[in-house]
A and B are shown apart, each in its own frame.
Chain A
Amino acid sequence: MKRVLSWLMIGLITILFANCKKYLDIPSDKRMVIISNLEDLQSLLDAFNQINFVDPGAGEASADNNFLTDAAWQSLGEYDRSMYIWSDRNVIVPYSVYSGNIWATCYNIIYRANTVLFHIARMEKTIENEDQYNNIKGQAHFLRAKSYLQMAWIWCLSYDSTSKNTDLGLPLRLTPDFNEPSTRSTLDETYSQIIDDFIMAVQLLPREAIHRIRPGKGAAFGYLSRCYLSMRKYTEAGLYADSCLQIHSELMDFNTDIPNPNANYPIPQLNAEVVYFARMATPSVLSYGSVDTILYNSYDEMDLRKKTFFRDVEGRKVFRGSYNQNAIPFTGLATDEMYLTLAECLVRRGDVQLALKSFNELMITRWDKDDFSTTITESPSEALELILKERRKELLYRDLRWMDIKRLNKENYNIILSRMVNDKVYTLAPNDPKFALAIPEDIISRSNIIQNPR
């Protein structure tokens, strides 16, 4: 008995030792996995709540499409009030105090993209997985570029080839290593990175994604066009807008494609024009704001957008024309923008008739069909003025206006922003350094990166 028991003990301990490694090798949480295959990477990019639904709205909130009543402004939080009056500081909420720090949400997308790029470089590309491999890699490049582009519009000055090497760009983080210190690149380096990433995306992405919540080649072309437009490189911008339209050219006809024009949100989500679906994390300045009165009055009565886009609230006009079919502004890419970009770029190149063809193709879908007449002109300046006017009327609340103001002021359009709160007038002069918003103060104190000059 004694011996039997001793052997039993020895046996037990041996078994324990022998199986230890295996016994302890199983994961502690079944839902938790170490990234090992392409599906894991795709799942990181499919998290639409963190990828598609958090586009920053600080630019739109700082632009001139929207205004707040005194009462509404007073009822907002301090950071929102600062954002509205272009304050020198405290425009973005600190990360630790409230949620909704857009610097963090943009960099989170970049981190996901970097994680995907880091891991995919260590995975084997085979004949079987090539399409999926390229697709995922392309999505990561696309998302990284898109985030940097949106951030550059908010926190950098408008691109200017004369000062591109001295103007401050963004901290460019290209690996998932969180230990790397942040330093601000030049504006040229930032835009070069964005273009490189979009070009990679164009090469890698499939012509059309399985769903428009994922980018396809068309989306990459479209964003590339946006990027060049904001750099005022109109040839490239026009070229890529055209490339996008080669893939997606469909337009909604407001005469027929709006099922119920009296609905709160009449424009269907994921309609024919949407190339890439994204929406804004709406800042309070926008959610409690009303549409600029002059802008509203500039819509013709025969312009179907006037009643489709706006709703009356106690005498003020509120925007309801989001392609998201709710109060949250659509900030993805749609074909209407591409038609307008193409038209603008063509006219700037001097090709007025081709530009007007593209322009009219869009306008006919926006106008009461019984009243529509084709716009005809020979004058490039008149055509450009017309196109830019319609651009503002078509693309309001798309987070494009801030960028448009910045680039147009570089071309002496002299758009002066002005807001009145409690009888006090705040103005933002063209090319004011405050067109690059204050970087959140807490990130400055943590990383010691340079704050935008005030």
Chain B
Amino acid sequence: MKFSTGCYTHTRENRVLSLLYNLRLLNNRKILRMMKLAILLTILTTLKAWSHSVGQTFSISVKNAPIEKVLAQIKKQSDYRFIYTREELKAALPVTLHVENASLAAVLQSCFNQQPLDYSLDGRYIIITRKTPASDTTRMLPRITGIITGPDGAPVVGATVSIDGSSKITVTDEQGRFTLESIPAGSILLVSSVGYEAIRYPVAFDAEISLRLNIQVEELSNVNIEVNTGFQELPKERATGSFTHIDNKLLNEQVSTDVLSRLEHIVNGLSVNRKISTSGQISIRGLSTIRGPKDPLIIVDNFPYAGDLNNINPNNIESITILKDAAAASIWGARAGNGVIVITTKKGKFNQPFRVELNSNVTIASKPNLGYLKQMSASDLIDVEQMLFEKGFYNNRESNITRPPLSAVVETLIAQRDGLIDGATGTARINALRNRDVRDDFNRLIYQPAVNQQYALNARGGSGNMAYAFNVGWDKNISELAERYQRINIGSDNTFALVKNLRIHAGIQYTQSNTTSGKPGYYAIPWPGYSALPPYTSLTEPLYHYRAPYIDTAGDGKLLDWKYYPTDDWQHSRGESKLQDILLNTGISYTAFKGLTADVKYQFEQQQTTGRTLHDLESFYARDLINTYSEVNDGVISYGIPRGAVLGLSHGSITSHNLRGQLNFNHTWNSHSLAAIVGAETREIRNSSSGNTIYGYNDDILTYAPVDFVNLKPTFITGWENFIPDGISLNETINRFVSFYGNTAYTFKERYTLSASARRDASNLFGVSTNNKWRPLWSAGASWELSKEAFYNSTFLPYLRLRATHGYSGNVDPSMSAVTAIQYDVTSRYTSSPISRITNFYNPSLRWEKIRMSNVGIDFRMLGNRIGGSIEYYKKIGTDLYGLEPIDYSAGLGTETITKNIASMHGYGWDIEINSINTTGAVEWLTHFNVNLYKDKIIKNFNRNQQGRSYITGSGLLSISGLENKPVYSMLSYPWAGLEPSTGNPQGYVNKEISTDYNELTGSSVTVDDLVYSGPIMPTIYGNIGNTVKYKGLSLTIRITYKAGYYFRRSSINYRSLYASYAGHAEYAARWQKPGDELSTHVPSMIYPVPANRDDFYYGADVSVEKGDHIRIQYFNFSYSMGEKLLRKMALQNFQCYIQSNNIGIIWRKNRKGIDPDYSDNSILPGRTISVGIKAGF
């Protein structure tokens, strides 16, 4: 304790200082006032808490008082707790005591002096035991003694030892010993202790009992799991809905800076799709919407989190509950249709000893494997360029007055043609490029191993009238592209019981993060007009953004250097973004009478982001812009944009207010128990952003130069006149919600539970008519704990519970509106009047999406509780779903589709979760197994055109196929008829006849009925298996994930893109070149010019469809936890060191092309990571 005391004070000062420092940055007075209050409360609490641990004294004056009174006094003046049974205290004599500023030892000494009782001290616990054995009875064992140890043989202190069916109870002392007297022979001894499995032991005539407790396997402790819906906490046993609870331990098997990325591999029913959104679309139980927002609602400590989710430090998370069905989610109303993720942060508890936890780790991620990319070889590309050059393909570009850049090969060919170099020199120059591979340069000069560091400290504790927790976290990441990210989290959370029945809660969480931009990656080096760099590019040589011969002579040397330096430029164009987020939570809770509590909770969050991009004068960006607006007349240069850096500034803020009033009723009488809540809440989120650009900036002395944005300026290369971009942007949105809700659960005889919930939401969504604003959502459910029935006596399934729910949740897209609305943009430079565009069209029937969901489940435990789990079946029907209705674009809306509530879909699936203890004893082997089956289909969709082309799905980001009676994301393709033997042209079918008329093949004569349906694009089977093997303090967990029953489309060569933008593909090498090749390849021949639809047809044909099934080892975690004895010696609560590796790799895949089906084909896969770290508790 001495150690932690010292450390404590130190931290406190720092913490307060840095909070105050950061406060200065916020100028909102309201926030300031609230923060002051929160800080004051925080400081008061913490000060009060500390005062105990520092030399505690007591003043007690009693005369002939019962001993309980003295104990109560001690309790009141400190946070020491007593452990005793009332039985034992009955024997106590009245106490007379007078002490002033006495030490605890002195008080206890004089108090227990004359008593038949003894006491011992363990940390903050004072254990009272009987001093001497009492007399014995016949048929009774006069006294039994024993020792309780843990699996490692170390004594377990404070374990409760009791006799089944009697009130005799005691706790073990410091040596793990206990004594019980007057025990009838044959009684059952019950031993339990927090963190250990309880055991039953029949007492025989052994005078000395030695029992060993096993560490409790938390996965199986379903009984104690409380599910947190964000509105209330319920024991899982009484909840009828579908929840997945992720505890701290499972969550911490992985190491990451953010929270959400850890969920993908461990949560039952949750999947992440990187083809719907490159950053990964999280979905819970598949899709609930077709066009609407697909993100689940994320709740952090009772309220939706408005800021950036990366602000949340995973080390500060206690547990996560995922609400999967309507009963669970309907309480969150119109935004819960996609499921809800409730994140609960670490909190202090009343009467909890003070604990400090420390976690520190370092993660190293390897460089990405660029060899995975299907890049065309340099030599192949050069051949293509030479062919195109001969056909005059580059003539247009060569004479183009905007001077688009040409590749080194084309420039050489031009020089050769124009006689500037001789043929031999040209050929030699080109041949020198043939063996290059730009990926080598990227590997050598750009990519580096990523290094992430993480340090986190949590402290919590509580006395009788207060509970406190605080956390400090520091993260520092350097990405594989040298991007830097730094995050600091500081927070505290306190609850006070001010007077009887009244509790006040105050929490504050402050996050600050800084991001600094890094190098451009493989796909990010700009080369205007082209989508990829030629593979023979050398990154050590300058890159031309305009034609090289032009740049070399333009402006008679008066202009700034106009070349781009790929490896240096990033150092001169640095983007920096700073984020500050402050989250304040306050609440008051009053217990009016037993069972009825009234709560008012308020949360305020403000996130401020400031972005700053400085392009100094050496950056290509600044040089290019300055040159563009320069004029050289008679050798004299004049600048439209002054020489100097270009500074882009942006500012964004998100402010949210949440207010909730809630009545909670919890009462149990006879065999009835009722838990009900009713409440109302309002929520406002205000989002604003602004940006501008400063020219001629000098970062050293903060000067800038005015620029004429109003008049047209000639541009250097073409002479065309243009306006200098002012870079100004302004945005502000406000979303407001008002909701009323209620939820009740009634349990009879602890086995029959009925539940119901209802909610009404309204929002200020633009123009949604009032009827639709107030949309009621409800759910009902029931559960039956079959194994509690008298007739149930299965030994095979000792625990069995059935449950079912049915209800509605909703989904709403705040950007959709039902009236014609215009949005103002910039001001016209010609008329100085504002310009607007129509963003929403009169669409009177627009309403919120409705998702009806049913869930039935079985919870069970078997084989002596060694196997436990749940099996659930769900079905959801989404109606009124947003769909895009294609319209005759002669309507002129500027879009070819409009949103309507026209679609409906049906989804169903199974969620199976099983935990098992495979072996016990010295080597423990545990398995955590998740299987999810999921299928969906569109029941109804718009009556869109039947042209086959509209249903072809690509290999990039997916669009919805939208075909009725098929999955929402379906793989549909043109039927493939092989390559034409004489030409190598891809062939398809028009009216069942083989055809190479690509306009027909991709036009209206091939309808959706002619397409081949392969299957769904979303996995229909997915899940994960975690296996943990423990031996002594060592523990190894390996998690395997798998996905199956789905299809994806491979990337392929597109000749049009190859010619126009260098987007080549490695499969070019396998193309058809001569008759006979069609037998061994399906890659079409190269022709020039190529009809646009030839590429499209080949790409959309079923020959490029692959099965997605695969199994991968996602991560392993190997840890060593220090044994009790050693911990004791080092005065530690716990100590663990671990090594963890993530993204380990695919171990089996169905496709033979080595493609990772989880990622868009040809994208850069994340590198494998290795983390090492320690965790310690004091």
Contacts and interface: CB of A to CB of B under 8 A. Distances in A.
Interface of A: 1-2, 5-6, 8-9, 12-13, 16, 20, 23-35, 39-40, 42-44, 46-50, 69-72, 74-79, 81, 89-90, 95-96, 101, 103-104, 107-112, 114-115, 171, 173, 176, 178, 180-182, 210-211, 213-214, 263-265, 269, 277, 288, 313-314, 325-327, 441-443, 445-447, 449
14 contacts: A28-B766, A29-B823, A30-B732, A32-B821, A46-B830, A74-B391, A77-B1056, A79-B1092, A96-B950, A107-B890, A115-B838, A213-B830, A326-B720, A327-B720
B155 to A, nearest CB: 48
B888 interface: yes
A26 to B, nearest CB: 6
Given A32-B839, A47-B837, A5 B598 contact: yes
Contact of A9 (B661, B764, B999): B661
B165 interface: no
B819 interface: yes
Nearest to B897: A96
B735 A28 contact: yes
B151 interface: no
Contacts of B721: 269, 325-326
A263 B890 contact: no
Nearest to A213: B830
Task: Give the top 5 A-B pairs by smallest Cβ distance, nearest first.
Answer: A71-B392, A111-B892, A326-B720, A107-B892, A178-B891
Contact of B835 (A47, A110, A182): A47
B762 interface: yes
B1003 interface: yes
Interface in B712-727: 712, 718-721
Given A24-B763, A29-B823, A47-B837, A81 B892 contact: no
Contacts of A74: 391-393, 1088-1089
**Size class of the B contact interface (CB-based, 8 Å):** 35 or more
Contacts of B820: 34-35, 115, 176
A165 to B, nearest CB: 22
Contacts of B842: 176
B1002 to A, nearest CB: 10
B890 A173 contact: yes
Most B-side CB within 10 Å, residue of A29, A313, A442: A29
A263 B401 CA distance: 13
B822 A40 contact: yes
Given A74-B391, A74-B1088, A111-B891, A23 B738 contact: yes
Interface string B1028-1046: 0000000000000000000
Contact of B718 (A12, A326, A445): A326
A31 B731 contact: yes
Most A-side CB within 10 Å, residue of B393, B598, B822: B822
Contact of B396 (A29, A75, A101, A110): A75
B988 to A, nearest CB: 17
B780 to A, nearest CB: 24
Contacts of A69: 392, 395
Nearest to B766: A28
Nearest to B999: A90
A277 B600 CA distance: 62
B738 A20 contact: yes
A26 B837 contact: no
A89 B820 CA distance: 36
A171 B734 CA distance: 41
Given A5-B592, A326-B721, A104 B886 contact: no
Contacts of A35: 820-822
A124 to B, nearest CB: 19
Interface in B757-777: 762-767, 773
Given A182-B890, A441-B1004, A46 B828 contact: yes
Nearest to A114: B892
Contacts of A24: 736, 738, 762-764, 773
Nearest to A20: B738
A47 B835 CA distance: 5
A269 B736 contact: no
Interface of B: 391-393, 395-396, 399, 401, 501-502, 590, 592-593, 598, 600, 661, 663, 680, 682, 712, 718-721, 730-736, 738, 762-767, 773, 814, 817, 819-825, 828, 830-831, 833-842, 886-894, 896, 898, 945, 947, 950, 999, 1003-1004, 1056, 1059, 1088-1089, 1091-1093
B765 A28 contact: yes
Contact of B896 (A39, A42, A96, A445): A96
Contacts of A180: 891
Contact of A443 (B841, B890, B893, B1093): B890
Contacts of B817: 32
A103 B889 CA distance: 8
Given A26-B734, A264-B719, A447 B890 contact: yes
Nearest to A109: B892
Contacts of B838: 44, 111-112, 115
Given A24-B738, A32-B821, A71-B391, A110 B892 contact: yes
Nearest to B660: A12
A74 B392 CA distance: 9
Contacts of A48: 828, 830, 835
Contacts of B821: 32-35
A211 B827 CA distance: 14
A452 B426 CA distance: 53
A107 to B, nearest CB: 4
Contact of A27 (B401, B598, B682, B764): B764
A369 B892 CA distance: 49
A70 B814 contact: no
Nearest to B829: A48
B888 A181 contact: yes
Nearest to B892: A111
A264 B401 CA distance: 9
A16 B834 contact: no
B900 to A, nearest CB: 11
Most B-side CB within 10 Å, residue of A108, A110, A449: A108
A441 B1003 contact: yes
A181 B891 CA distance: 9
A275 to B, nearest CB: 15
A288 B896 contact: no
Given A16-B680, A32-B839, A107-B892, 13 more contacts: A24-B762, A26-B734, A28-B735, A29-B731, A39-B833, A44-B822, A46-B830, A70-B392, A71-B396, A95-B896, A107-B889, A211-B831, A213-B830
A265 B719 contact: yes
A42 to B, nearest CB: 6
Nearest to A288: B396
Nearest to B837: A47
Contacts of B765: 28
Contact of A446 (B733, B945, B1003): B945
B892 A39 contact: no
Given A27-B764, A115-B838, A213-B831, A34 B890 contact: no
Contacts of A103: 889-890
Given A264-B719, A443-B890, A445-B1004, A28 B837 contact: no
A8 B889 CA distance: 56
Contacts of B399: 313-314
Nearest to B887: A178
Contacts of B839: 32
Contact of A46 (B395, B592, B731, B835): B835
Nearest to B762: A24
Contacts of B682: 16, 23
Given A26-B736, A108-B894, A314-B399, A5 B764 contact: no
B663 A327 contact: no
Contact of A43 (B395, B834, B886): B834
Contact of A173 (B814, B891, B896, B1089): B891
Contacts of B947: 442, 445
Most A-side CB within 10 Å, residue of B824, B889, B947: B889
